[in-house]
Amino acid sequence: MTKTHQEISTANQKEGADAAESLAHYTGAPVPPPARTDGPWLIVFWRSDIAKKWLMALSGLALIGFVIAHMIGNLKLFIGKADINEYAEWLRTLGHPVLPDQVVLWIMRVGLLAAVVVHISAAASLTITNRKARPVRYQSRRDYAAANFASRTMRWTGIIVLLFIIYHLLDLTWGVGNSSWRSGEVYDNIITSFQRWPVAIFYIIANMALAFHIFHGFSSMFASLGWSNPRLSVLRKNGAIGIAAIILIGNVSMPLLVVTGVYP
């Protein structure tokens, strides 16, 4: 039923009066508390979102370095049993004879753990900040112009990679869930683990997530660290694709070739 002119007009007058009332009481956006500047320097630094992104970029760079070194070491799987076992033993005795065995290994492990903790806590804190910054979401569909799949799924690829790291440590460092696991027998442990297809599929999916994560993370790092020199833009674009592709191919090749029976 259509409303008469008079009905619409009355309704509008009432609505107009309500709006005028609420506008009269409007005192601006809710004012957030000012940035706290008390406390030790590092804590004050950490409170800033830009500083968190800077630390996230640095820890991310360290983790990319680890992922590449880890991949190169593990690709010795394809050279032979003796080679990869020798590499694993070398890691344990790194720094010999200056330092006792495993000291360098543990320094690297602690460094990695610190990088992971910084990276994840910064991400979690920034995610909360960003959610709070838009309490009322868009009610219509957004049309993104620049954001890509990798940049929009960082949170999820990151979570997949974290879960994978936990499983990966359980599987190959502590030998949980693999009855044929034996300490020091790196080659046999990897092969017996990857021959189980659900495990191989999880490794493959996790490394695909890692490649997407690194693709956006690597190029994003340049902005977070403030490297905007145009000479770096080639490295930024090609480096992101190149490193993501190398890590994807290198890391996926191991479970893929083992589970399909191509290797050994």
Partner 1 sequence: MQVNLKIWRQSGPDSPGAFHNYEVPNASPDMSFLELMDVLNEDLQTKGEEPIAFDHDCREGICGSCAMMINGRAHGPETGTTTCQLHMRKFADGAHITVEPWRAGAFPVIRDLCVDRSAFDRIIESGGYITAPTGTAPDANLILVPKEVADSAMDAAACIGCGACVAACPNSAAQLFTAAKLSHLNLLPQGQPERYKRTVSMVNEMERWFGSCTNHGECSAACPKEISLDFIAMMNRDYVKAQFKQRRFASQT
Q: Which residues bind partner 1 (CB under 8 A)?
A: 5, 8-9, 12, 15-16, 18-23, 26, 28-30, 32-35, 37, 41, 45, 48-54, 126, 129-130, 132-148, 151-152, 154, 216, 219-220, 222-228
Q: Which is nearer to partner 1, 95 or 239 (CB)?
A: 239
Q: Which is nearer to partner 1, 154 or 205 (CB)?
A: 154
The DSSP secondary-structure symbol of 95 reads T
CB of 188 to partner 1, least distance (A): 42
Q: Which is nearer to partner 1, 3 or 92 (CB)?
A: 3
CB of 230 to partner 1, least distance (A): 8
Q: Which is nearer to partner 1, 9 or 260 (CB)?
A: 9
213 neighbors 114 (Cβ within 8 angstroms): no
236 neighbors 222 (Cβ within 8 angstroms): yes
- Helix, strand, coil content of the chain in percent (nearest 5): 70, 0, 30
CB of 38 to partner 1, least distance (A): 13
CB of 148 to partner 1, least distance (A): 8
Interatomic CA distance for residues 96 and 114, integer angstroms: 24
Interatomic CA distance for residues 264 and 255, integer angstroms: 11
126 neighbors 53 (Cβ within 8 angstroms): yes
Interatomic CA distance for residues 193 and 196, integer angstroms: 6
Two structure tokens written together for 240: 């992101």
Q: Which is nearer to partner 1, 140 or 179 (CB)?
A: 140
CB of 168 to partner 1, least distance (A): 26
